[in-house]
Amino acid sequence: MRTWAAALDRTRRRECLIASVVATGAVIALLVAAIPSVASGYSATIRRTEGGIPHISAPNYGGIGYGYGYAFAQDNICVMADDYITVDAERSKFFGPNGSYEQRGNGVTANNLNSDFFFQQIIDSHVIDELLAKEPPLGPAQEVRELVAGYVAGYNRYLSDVGGTNGVPDSSCRGEPWVRPITAADAYRRFYQLTELASADVVINGIAEAAPPVGPFQAPLEPQAIAQGLSTRLPIKGAGSNAVAVGAAGTADKHHGLLHGNPHFTMGVPERFDQADITISV
């Protein structure tokens, strides 16, 4: 379980960057001066640059999570609400059992019903609960717990401020019942999903559709043959770390260049990198 602790620690650092982005229209220099929360006790200040990048300051980790959750929901509410439905094993309920979704980070298209089976067995196993019950380094550090609690409060505060799903500015999910407040359990399930992006998430369909072999017994393959077979069958050819830079002449407005990091994480998926500046001001 050491890999879980390491991944969760990395997630703490990456959660300020990792995300999907849905365009929200015009950008203003100062979007939110302050978002205090009497109910939760969190407070944060969010300022945005002309390019839309949020600069978040707060007195502690909980406040940082709160401010980031608010700004993150402003930019990404639709695609992340969709992903929380995924990790809650409810895709069939809202999108139908025969539908599917593409995991751009690993190149796999998962059937909704198979996905629900996969994530429900994770929920039923209580593996995440057991990890959360452990002390660091096997479990999350206190700072991670504070960040997550603040993030959930900030995400939900934004959804409340716009009047719930019917007030979401993005028409791609406005009014949809699957756009709803989240819990800390949702956030940790998302973390767990990320740790398995290039492992179990790759074989969601295979796990859900697994069946006993039919026909005569076959001797187990040698390790070398297994490795060779996996290298040719696992659909992770699209994964890799890279970047594409385009000069002003190649962009739509002809005035600004564009740098797209990790372009195998495309614009409309939860794994796309999302920039934010964070400062804890004591």
pLDDT 10s digits, 182-239: 999 999 999 999 999 889 999 999 999 998 878 776 666 666 655 555 544 545 555 5
What crossing angle do the helices spanning 2-14 and 184-195 adopt, rounded to 10°?
110
Question: Is it the case that residue 82 has pLDDT exceeding 50?
Answer: yes
Report whether 100 contacts 110 (CB < 8 A).
yes
Quote the radius of gyration of the chain (alpha carbons, Å): 20
Domain ranges of the chain: 2-207+231-239+272-280
What is the per-residue pLDDT for 18? 29
Looking at domain 2-207+231-239+272-280, what is its CATH homologous superfamily? Penicillin Amidohydrolase, domain 1 (1.10.439.10)
User: For residue range 19-63, what is the model confidence (pLDDT) as tens digits?
Assistant: 322 222 223 234 444 666 555 689 999 999 988 999 999 999 999
Alpha-carbon dihedral 265, 266, 267, 272, rounded to 10 degrees: 0
Q: According to the model, what pLDDT value does residue 259 have?
A: 76
Q: Give the active site residue among 37, 100, 241, 281.
A: 241
Which residues on neighbouring strands pair with residue 244, listed in sequence order?
260
Query: Cα 206 to the chain's mean position, in Å?
Result: 23
Measured CA angle at 131 (ends 129, 137), to 5 deg: 150
CB atoms within 10 A of CB 212: 4
Catalytic residue flag (residue 241): yes
d(CA 230, CA 270): 26
Q: Is 44 helix (H, G, I), strand (E, B) or coil?
A: coil
pTM for this predicted structure: 0.75
pLDDT of 253 reads 86
CB 47 within 8 A of CB 30: yes
